[in-house]
Every structure is written in C-alpha cells, then in structure tokens.
Structure 1
C-alpha cells in the first residue's frame, strides 16, 4: 500500500497551520490603526495522471473522465483585503484618516519612502509632523513654535494660526500615494509598506483627485478586521486541521494492517 496519502494529509496540516497563523495575526491587530486583514490563498499540488481523459479504452471507446490522483495542497500567498475601515473621531488635530484609496508617505530611516494608512501623527521636538515611531511625514511639514491651532483640509492643506496674526498661515500640503495594486505592497511591520514591482509605481498627488481619497482631520481609520468572520474562519481551519490529522492516523492504521496481513 502506498503511503502517498500521508504526504497529502501532511500538506493539508501545513496549509491549515499557516492559515491559522494568518487568522491569528488578523485578530491580534483588531485594534491596530489602519490595519488591513489578510486572507490565505491555496492551490493544489501536482496531479499524477494514471489514465488521461479521452485516452482510448477498448476499440473506438475512450475514457470520459480519466484517473488523476492529487498530491495535496499548498498555501500560495496572502491577499490583503483593502476595504475601508471605520473612521473613529479622536478630536486630536494631528490625527488624520484617509476616506477612500491612498496612503500617507513617510521617510524611513534608510531614506526610502514608506507608505501607511495609520494617521496617528505627532509633533517632534523640532516641530515636524512624524509618526509615533518618529518617521517624518513626506513632504515634510514644520509647525512653527507657538502655533495655537492646526487645521487640515480634506485636500491635505495644513494651516496654522500663529500668535499675533489674524489669518491662518499655510504650512504645506499632505500628498497621498495611490497604487494600481495595493495588495502587492510589501508589509514591513510598524504599519509601514514599501513599493514592489507587483504594486506598481506610486501615483502621488493631491487628496481627492485622480481616485485618491480625502483626508479627515481629527479621525483615525480603525482596522477592517471582522472579529465574527475571523472566529468562523478559525473554527473552520481547526476542523480541517483535525480531519487531516485523522487522515494521517487512519492511513497509518491501514498501512499497519497491510503489513501484518502480508
């Protein structure tokens, strides 16, 4: 008796274990600002064709279906689900949420440009608008010392009311980057993504134009993880893992019986 079924079941265990890790990461980030849930994707492994469909059987007759035996499954990747998360009002003037497509741009420590949906920005000691990790917003915007209020328009225009002035002073404009395939961005951790050949080049411009979303001041985008859906997926994954485990036990018992009888 062939032990091929053992390898098929093992591939199922590996696939379900990886899917459970994806689900666990989604649930762990249920409160992460701007987080986008991932979905595990699978594909079949190679088939062993014993009898080809359409091959001659007897005389002029041909097999209608053929005989092919699969060799299991594997996880091919994770698809990032880029649906809009709920906007939560914080009333913090430096908090920004993107309503629609697009990413904020930040300058990474190695000089590259990173992209993020997390708009929980702060001021550095020098007055620059930075992320919670200290990465400056790109283009860099400096808030003068003594500014009494900061206003951010839906198009990203940042203005500040300075002491002794009756009108607000424009400090700069937040530009958003849009990608043809945002799921192709490389996740780097810390809510940061980087460009890849799969994502395409960033299309940078003013918020609200050319398909880019608008900016909401004093709000943050919540994670788009649906806890109920993740729990359902977790139970389904657990059951599939158990079935593959039982398949290994059953196949092992069949092989044991065959060895005892022969």
Structure 2
C-alpha cells in the first residue's frame, strides 16, 4: 500500500524540520547567528489517467486526470539573514554591523571567511583577531603603548599613543556583501564561505551605499524569535503525529484485508 511509504516521507520531513528548529533554538544566544527554515517539495506523481489524453474519435480530452503523489522531500534549509538585535557590551573590541555586510576573516589556510559576529580580541602581537585567533582583514595592529581604541561608524580605527595628544589612525575595517546571502556556506564558528550560489563578494568601507555602518561596544545578537520557533515546533509535531496516524490507519486496512475469509 503506497500510503505507508508516502506517510513515511512525511514523518522524515518533519523530523528534519524539528532538527532545524532545535538548531535555531540552541543558537538563540549565539552572536550574529542567522536562523534557518526548512522548505519542502512534493515528490514525483504516478499518472493513472493523464490529463489531456484523448477519450474519443471526436477529440474529447480528459480535463483533470488522475495523479497519485509519492510524498514529500526536503528542498532547502535557507538562512534568514534579517538583522538581529544589537546589545551594548561596553567592550572596546566588540563591533556590531547595522545593516548589510560581513566582516572578512583570514583563515589559517589563507582563504577568506565571512562573519557577522564582531567579538574581536588582540593577539600577542597586537593584531586584531577573532576569538579563535583568525586575523580580521585588513590586518590592523595595535601598538603596545596604545590606549583608548576608537572604531568609527565608517570602520576607521584610531588610538591614543602614550605621550601624544593627537589620535593615530591604524587602518580602516572593511565589509563584504553578497547578492545572495542565503547562498553562503556555514562552516561553524560563526563563519561563512563564498559559494557559486552566493556570488562573488563586493568589498567596501562601512557606510558606503548598500553597506551597513559599525557600532563599537555593541554586538549583534541572534535573529531567532523564541515564539516563532515554538509555534513552528508545535506545527511540526502535529504534522508528524498525523503522518504517524496515516501509517497506523494503512496498517489497520492491510490487517483487515489479510483477515478476509
């Protein structure tokens, strides 16, 4: 009976849906995290009577036909790249992006990754790095005798050097943006990689047309909405239960058929 296999695809789809929701909820407090959602498509159809087929010598045709669907499949789990809330941290090297753009991060193999998480630190040489020690591009090094680090909305980094009254500019942070942000590949550690689907990055200074600005002493939080996730979880649970009920009903029908005398 096809109903068993069809309902099984529904149960597997909702199981994946719950996995996506649980991942979102687990990262509710992850800096710069972007939630995902599961999207589904129907499977191929079995045509028992094809629409448009000729039914007589006069040319009459079947208007609707008979199609039996084979169930559901997972199509994609795209990320929702909406802005997360921005919270004050009072830490000089915490930087939030207001608007479009990603920080550029140099990985140990020399490739470039991208992130919305602006929780940065200084390494032993004064280089601006992520919490994993990866260099923030372009490289900005803070001298040992520097104090009062200031990061402007346009990414300009300035410090006061001991014994000097005028601020010294160390460099300017840049942002990258993509035509298809959902096409970026997540690799964990709050990092994304460019893909053929995302397109090549456009790099510019914060505040330029189409690019967001920076806010020092702040961090962008996850864009996960707990109420939305819980309501989606309840809907997924009910859909799973209904598919399980269909399997139970199909089994009872088969049992009834087997018990015919």
TM range (shorter): over 0.9
Deviation at 1:249, TM superposition (A): 1.1
CA distance in 2, matches of 1:196, 1:243: 38
Q: Which residue of 2 aligns with 1:175?
A: 174
Could you say which residue in structure 1 is the equivalent of 2:49?
51
Q: Let me know the Cα RMSD of the aligned residues.
A: 1.1
Partners of 1:106 and 1:13 in 2: how far apart? 40
2:42 and 2:151 map into 1 onto residues whose CA distance is 50
Q: What is the rounded CA distance, in whole Å, between the counterparts of 2:64 and 2:139 in structure 1?
A: 64
State the Cα distance separating 1:252 from its structure 2 match: 1.2
Which SS does the other structure have where 1:16 is aligned? helix
Deviation at 1:56, TM superposition (A): 2.8
Aligned equivalents of 1:143, 1:105: Cα separation in 2: 18
Aligned counterpart, 1:143:
142
Q: Give 2:27's aligned residue.
A: 29
User: 1:18 deviation in Å?
Assistant: 0.4
Tell me the secondary structure at the aligned position of residue 140 of structure 1: coil
| Gap runs ≥5 in structure 2 | none
Runs of at least 4 residues off by over 6 Å: none
Instruction: Compute the displacement of 1:34 (Å).
Output: 0.4
- Give me the whole-angstrom Cα distance separating, in 2, the residues matched to 1:248 and 1:171: 66
> 1:256 & 1:26 partners in 2: Cα distance?
41
Q: Deviations over 1:170-229 (max 9, x none)?
A: 001100000000100000000000000000001111111131111111110010000000
- Cα distance in 1 between the residues matched to 2:174 and 2:4: 54
Q: Distance in 2 between matches of 1:261 and 1:125?
A: 81
Which residue of structure 2 lines up, in the alignment, with residue 184 of structure 1?
183
1:27: how far off?
0.3
Counterparts of 1:229 and 1:98, CA distance in 2: 24
User: SS at 1:65's partner residue?
Assistant: coil
The aligned counterpart of 1:249 is 248
CA distance in 1, matches of 2:172, 2:13: 46
- Please show how residues 85-234 of structure 1 align to structure 2 within 5 Å: 85-234=84-233
Q: CA deviation at 1:57?
A: 3.4
Match of 2:66 in 1: 67
Question: What secondary structure is seen at the aligned counterpart in 2 of 1:39?
Answer: coil
Task: Measure, in 2, the Cα distance between the counterparts of 1:110 and 1:29.
Answer: 27
Q: How many residues align?
A: 260
